[in-house]
Structure 1
Amino acid sequence: MKKIGFLSFGHWGSHPAYKARSAADTLLQSIDLAVAAEEMGLDGAYVRVHHFAAQLASPFPLLAAIGARTSKIEIGTGVIDMRYENPLYMVEDAGAADLISGGRLQLGISRGSPEQVIDGWRYFGYVPTDGEDGTAMGRRKSLEFLDKLKGVGFAKPNPNPMFPNPPGLLRLEPYSQGLRERIWWGAASNATAVWAAENGMNLQSSTLKEDESGKPFHVQQAEQIRFYKEAWKKAGHQREPRVSVSRSIFALVNDMDRYYFGNEAERTDQIGFIEEDKRAIFGRSYAAEPDQLIKELAKDEAIQEADTLLLTIPNTLGVDYNVHVLSSILKYVAPELGWR
Structure 2
Amino acid sequence: MPADSSTNPPSGQRLELGFLSFVHNAGRRTSPADAARALQDGIGLFRRAEELGYDAGWVRNRHFEPFLSSPLIFLTAVSQQTGRLRLGTGVVPVRYEDPVRLAEDAANLDLLSGGRLELGLSSGYPAPVLEELFAAGGPDFRAEVQRRLSRLLAALRGDVLAVLEEPFSTLPAGDELTLTPPAPELARRLWYGAGSLASAEQAARQGFDLQVSTLNTEETGEPFDVRQAEQIRAYKQVLARQEPQRAPRISVSRIILPYLTGTDGEELQDWLAFYAARMDAQGRPVSGAALRYSPAYHGDPEAILAALLADEALQQATHLTVALPSVGSPELHRRTLQLAAERIAPQLGWTPAG
Normalised to the residue count of structure 1, the TM-score between the two structures is: 0.88
Q: Which moved more, 1:44-53 or 1:310-319?
A: 310-319
Alignment deviations for residues 14-54 of structure 1 (CA, whole Å, 9 cap, x no partner): 9xxx9x99432332211111111111111111111111211
Which residue in 2 is equivalent to 1:229? Answer: 236
**1:5 Cα offset (Å):** 1.1
Q: Counterpart amino acid of 1:141?
A: R
Which residue in 2 is equivalent to 1:298? Answer: 309
In structure 2, what is the Cα distance between the partners aligned to 1:237 and 1:155? 33
8 Å CA contact 1:153, 1:168 repeated in 2 = no
In structure 2, what is the Cα distance between the partners aligned to 1:172 and 1:273? 46
**1:156 Cα offset (Å):** 1.6
8 Å CA contact 1:250, 1:288 repeated in 2 = yes
Which residue in 1 is equivalent to 2:156? Answer: 149
Structure 2: runs of 5+ lacking an equivalent: 1-13
Matched ranges for 1:138-287 at <5 A: 138-157=145-164, 160=167, 162-163=169-170, 169-236=176-243, 238-261=245-268, 268-272=281-285, 279-287=290-298
Which residue in 2 is equivalent to 1:125? Answer: 135
Matching residue within 64, 68, 75 for 1:56? 68
What secondary structure, in the 3-state scheme, does the structure 2 residue paired with 1:304 have?
A: helix
In structure 2, what is the Cα distance between the partners aligned to 1:144 and 1:238? 26
Give the length in aligned residue pairs: 329
Which residue in 2 is equivalent to 1:110? Answer: 122
**1:318 Cα offset (Å):** 2.9
8 Å CA contact 1:105, 1:179 repeated in 2 = yes
**Structure-2 change in CA distance of 1:49 and 1:150 (3 Å):** same
Matching residue within 15, 21, 25 for 1:8? 21
Matching residue within 322, 343, 346 for 1:335? 346
**Structure-2 change in CA distance of 1:238 and 1:145 (3 Å):** farther
In structure 2, what is the Cα distance between the partners aligned to 1:97 and 1:54? 24
In structure 2, what is the Cα distance between the partners aligned to 1:40 and 1:24? 25
8 Å CA contact 2:240, 2:246 repeated in 1 = no
What secondary structure, in the 3-state scheme, does the structure 1 residue paired with 2:204 have?
A: helix
In structure 2, what is the Cα distance between the partners aligned to 1:198 and 1:286? 33
What secondary structure, in the 3-state scheme, does the structure 1 residue paired with 2:233 have?
A: helix
Q: CA RMSD in A?
A: 2.7
**1:237 Cα offset (Å):** 5.7
Normalised to the residue count of structure 2, the TM-score between the two structures is: 0.85
**Structure-2 change in CA distance of 1:273 and 1:209 (3 Å):** farther
**1:161 Cα offset (Å):** 5.3
In structure 2, what is the Cα distance between the partners aligned to 1:261 and 1:127? 38
8 Å CA contact 1:201, 1:241 repeated in 2 = no
Which residue in 1 is equivalent to 2:57? Answer: 45
In structure 2, what is the Cα distance between the partners aligned to 1:30 and 1:258? 21
Whether 1:93 and 2:105 are equivalent positions in the alignment is: yes
What secondary structure, in the 3-state scheme, does the structure 2 residue paired with 1:272 have?
A: coil
In structure 1, what is the Cα distance between the partners aligned to 2:33 and 2:140? 37
Structure 1: runs of 5+ lacking an equivalent: none
Which residue in 2 is equivalent to 1:36? Answer: 48
Q: Which moved more, 1:59-68 or 1:153-162?
A: 153-162
8 Å CA contact 2:283, 2:292 repeated in 1 = yes
Q: Which has the higher contact order (CA 8 A, sep 6+)?
A: 2
Whether 1:288 and 2:295 are equivalent positions in the alignment is: no
Alignment deviations for residues 91-144 of structure 1 (CA, whole Å, 9 cap, x no partner): 1010001111111111111111244xx24121123333xxx4223211221121
**1:291 Cα offset (Å):** 2.1
Alignment deviations for residues 139-161 of structure 1 (CA, whole Å, 9 cap, x no partner): 22112111211012332246645
Whether 1:67 and 2:76 are equivalent positions in the alignment is: no
Identity rate, percent: 35
